[in-house]
Amino acid sequence: MTLQDWLEGLYRDHAPALFRFLIRLTGDEADTKDILQEIFRRLAKTPRLLDGVAAPRSYLFRMAHRLVIDRHRRDQTRQHYDRLAWQERDPISRPEPLADDALWVQKVLDSSLDTLPPEQKEVVVLKVWENMTFAEIAEVLDISANTAASRYRYALDKLRESLRPLYKDLP
């Protein structure tokens, strides 16, 4: 198997999940692409990185997580202004009328997810969409399983709170 075949296999298997994780965390397609590029650049340069790794997906998520942190530290000021911009266009304060209640819940949840702190958001993404256990999440994020569980709990509480004005009326 050539290096190119190996990289293409990895890309097919893991890039969609990494993309979902990164786009939720960065909120920016260009940043997501840069980080994805960096991950594959490192893999192409040092293919032995994955030698003896039992769960390549967890390893790749951990790499992505660290790259996001590095980028966040570098662009802290910009991120701060981005977050302010997000708060300004928070749709909860200016709701648009939607016919379907479920769609409205989805819209509010989607926006609320973006306003979560990054450390809670990444736990939610890994737990809900990647179906990881708290132990796996802990390994990816370099935290304890208890911390992962409590971050998830806080995130759900915040999301529930964002839906509070709505779910009284829901069936």
Partner 1 sequence: MNDESLEQHLRKLPQPELPAGWQTEIIAQALREARESASPTRQVWPPFLMFLRQIVARNPLTASALTALWLLIFLFKASTPVDPSEKELLAHFDPNRPVYLVSIQDEIRLAELLQDQSEPRRLQIP
SS3 35: helix
Shortest Å distance, C-beta 98 to partner 1: 14
SS3 82: helix
Can residue 36 be called a binding residue for partner 1 (CB under 8 A)?
Answer: yes
In order of 146, 149, 155, the CA distances from 65 in angstroms are 19, 18, 18
Tell which one of 25, 43, 63, 64 touches partner 1 (CB under 8 A). 43
Residues 72-101 binding partner 1 (CB under 8 A) are none
Distance from CA of residue 92 to its chain's centroid? 21
CA-closest candidate to residue 67, choices 105, 122, 16: 122
Can residue 50 be called a binding residue for partner 1 (CB under 8 A)?
Answer: no
Chain residues in the site for partner 1 (CB under 8 A): 3-4, 7-8, 11, 15-16, 19-20, 23-24, 29, 33, 36-37, 40-41, 43-45, 102, 105-106, 109-110, 113, 124, 128-129, 156, 159-160, 163, 167, 170
